Structure 1
């Protein structure tokens, strides 16, 4: 354990956010973080941390003073190497970040994706048919993983060869946001992990991307001179984590929350348009992406404290989304609360580029379930899937009763 002290006078928290017990249930750690102060020192990793809503939201939005280019995971890229290539979207800062983000925003805006709504609904209805035939299902493997993998690769234009590797790839990448602990080691040594990394690197090249999809549109930007050729596969790769793993985690979280709260499922059943609110509240309640790091380029106020220049800060999205200062009774999953302003998708110029895609998937799938499923009930104990960055489920047994 380090004995290093912070450069400024802030409370010291000697807890490990990457301890496996904390990854499984972070609420206690997050409460300690919030209540210790607006800015604290995480002595285990010699970084600052913030868990209160106001400070986390402001920190995420302040891209001028708190940069992402030195790494949004625990590793400071100025001092250490990591095995993965930095994301051109979430680990880049303006002005380099701006044209890339503008391109992706144009391709992934709610308006640009609107034409997919009917097809997504049709595929969701087909999946619900299959689920009702079985009665008892795993909300993770049979629903949350199955549905995105049916709709997402087709829209991007990914080959069939790469699709089996997507979840394995994302698990490694998101785990790499934490320290080199046992959780990361298990992810990197899992069967197929090495093959997944190689397959994604290969299959995001131009010759493997089908025409007519979002991936092809990225490569067309190269032809127009708007994007360097070496950046195109990296941008396609960025979509894979933004559009698969986080959506899988969010759909699983929503189903778990609704199964545990039959009164809230009844609200969705009564008006399937509430599916979008259920998905949004689950993003707040579960915070599939738990944290991002930022690095200060100058002294930055955090409440009544100051993050010193060159300080790195762990911004806890999960803690902020459960801050009772912003969300009354935050541990309750409540579709009738005002959930606007949650930070589950981040905030500012680095807000999740795939959020509209994820919302479209969540709304289509949950709406189909609401129209066809009378009761959504637990059929066994759920099991967490530990990840250094994501809050995810490994298994959620459910029993579905047709309407």
Structure 2
């Protein structure tokens, strides 16, 4: 840590969005956490913290640290965003409250119980087909393929045009970071493919398949709980943020298990630990390592003076290995009590879709653990280079059936 003498700010001279940072995530996380409770990153002009206690303070005080200015680097109130801000992710009460209430009901534990048999059946079928091949890409053929099938169907998105979902989601997560080459490349793809038009059409009630999350959202609009415009925006939230994070969360967990055969043996011996394995995977390598807030007015955090409308990035991946919160934080341990990790956030803006993600991951990991004795890499995994995400596009493997 250094001092910005002119502004008397503790500073950290890093670029957390560089290729070097992507290639060395643990070193980056450690540098952020060890720099101090909250430090200034001069390259981009934002505050950053990687400490569990500080991040919880920020999450739990939406009046001081607002989501309504955008949860990425762009101040969506002052500067023109690439798309209309979300009414759930980039909103505070009172706008946030009814929309959150509707989604929480639609994505309740009861709703997940109704989906469980379908999710598990799809996972079993996919895993059976892949085991017959013995060699396949665990990243593309399962960690990606499973959420890409079950979530759009659960939402009620029509089959036509689903190839637009990943490019749009990748643009969404690149746009939360700096407007660098990754963002420009992702934007070019969606503009050339007509993805914006696809998303706009999928948000409309008449284009949704009856019986999915989407029609339930619009039912809430018809009953007057939320506006019809907000209903479309909530459908868009599934399109922009519901697939990538789960895909990479599953992939990161599988990579941790592949690299630690003794941990896979534990899961293989007891497949009921699948959800526990996923939560430890999220703690160990969060697929979405960062989320932002903005100060409404000048305030103080951990004894440091912050100005009005300044971005504060909570580096969740760093906090999830904070030794002040976790014993042996750098160990991946299926027997760990993972309650309290921050990969899904906390407070009123905690991820409303986390039960869907857990059900998806549990379905995949349970099927694999039951049917596969050993998973071995057959080549180098391929990391993703997306500003706001961590994970793998490709994990080439060979499996030994149980």
TM-score by length of 2: 0.95
Deviations 1:1-47 (A, max 9, x none): xx98785x432111111112112322222212211110101011111
Residue 287 of structure 2 is matched in structure 1 by: 288
Which moved further from structure 2: 323-332 or 187-196? 187-196
Residue 274 of structure 2 is matched in structure 1 by: 275
The answer to whether the Cα contact below 8 Å between 1:209 and 1:216 also exists between their aligned partners in 2 is yes
The CA distance in 1 between the partners of 2:316 and 2:160, in whole Å, is 35
> Would you say 1:346 and 2:363 are equivalent positions?
no
The answer to whether the Cα contact below 8 Å between 1:136 and 1:400 also exists between their aligned partners in 2 is yes
Residue 257 of structure 1 is matched in structure 2 by: 256
Number of residues of Structure 1 aligned to a counterpart in Structure 2 = 400
Unpaired segments ≥5 residues, structure 2: none
Residue 23 of structure 1 is matched in structure 2 by: 22
Q: Secondary structure at the match of 1:145?
A: helix
Shift of residue 304 of structure 1? 3.5
The CA distance in 2 between the partners of 1:304 and 1:323, in whole Å, is 20
Taking structure 1 as reference, are residues 181 and 47 closer, same or farther at Cα in structure 2, changes over 3 Å only?
same
The CA distance in 2 between the partners of 1:298 and 1:203, in whole Å, is 38
> Would you say 1:166 and 2:185 are equivalent positions?
no
The answer to whether the Cα contact below 8 Å between 2:284 and 2:321 also exists between their aligned partners in 1 is yes
The CA distance in 2 between the partners of 1:78 and 1:348, in whole Å, is 23
Residue 130 of structure 2 is matched in structure 1 by: 131
Residue 182 of structure 1 is matched in structure 2 by: 181
The answer to whether the Cα contact below 8 Å between 2:168 and 2:190 also exists between their aligned partners in 1 is no
Shift of residue 307 of structure 1? 3.1
The CA distance in 1 between the partners of 2:348 and 2:241, in whole Å, is 15
Residue 140 of structure 1 is matched in structure 2 by: 139
The answer to whether the Cα contact below 8 Å between 1:10 and 1:39 also exists between their aligned partners in 2 is no
Residue 214 of structure 2 is matched in structure 1 by: 215
> Would you say 1:113 and 2:112 are equivalent positions?
yes
The CA distance in 2 between the partners of 1:42 and 1:212, in whole Å, is 47
The CA distance in 1 between the partners of 2:24 and 2:282, in whole Å, is 16
Residue 89 of structure 1 is matched in structure 2 by: 88
Q: Secondary structure at the match of 1:94?
A: coil
> How large is the RMSD of aligned CA atoms in angstroms?
1.8
The CA distance in 2 between the partners of 1:73 and 1:325, in whole Å, is 27
The answer to whether the Cα contact below 8 Å between 1:250 and 1:282 also exists between their aligned partners in 2 is yes
The CA distance in 2 between the partners of 1:118 and 1:365, in whole Å, is 12
Deviations 1:200-253 (A, max 9, x none): 111221111011111001111121122212222111010223321111111111
> Would you say 1:332 and 2:331 are equivalent positions?
yes
Shift of residue 61 of structure 1? 2.2
The CA distance in 2 between the partners of 1:389 and 1:62, in whole Å, is 23
Taking structure 1 as reference, are residues 390 and 235 closer, same or farther at Cα in structure 2, changes over 3 Å only?
same
Taking structure 1 as reference, are residues 393 and 6 closer, same or farther at Cα in structure 2, changes over 3 Å only?
farther
> Would you say 1:32 and 2:31 are equivalent positions?
yes
Shift of residue 182 of structure 1? 1.2
Shift of residue 328 of structure 1? 2.2
Shift of residue 354 of structure 1? 1.0
Residue 371 of structure 1 is matched in structure 2 by: 370
The CA distance in 2 between the partners of 1:340 and 1:5, in whole Å, is 40
- Within 5 Å, give how 1:191-210 maps onto structure 2: 194-210=193-209
Deviations 1:253-282 (A, max 9, x none): 111111111111111111111001111011
Which moved further from structure 2: 327-336 or 256-265? 327-336
Which moved further from structure 2: 189-198 or 111-120? 189-198
Shift of residue 146 of structure 1? 0.7
The answer to whether the Cα contact below 8 Å between 1:4 and 1:46 also exists between their aligned partners in 2 is no
Taking structure 1 as reference, are residues 296 and 165 closer, same or farther at Cα in structure 2, changes over 3 Å only?
same
The answer to whether the Cα contact below 8 Å between 2:199 and 2:239 also exists between their aligned partners in 1 is no
Deviations 1:283-328 (A, max 9, x none): 1111111111111124544334343443321111111112122122
> Would you say 1:71 and 2:36 are equivalent positions?
no
The answer to whether the Cα contact below 8 Å between 2:138 and 2:394 also exists between their aligned partners in 1 is yes
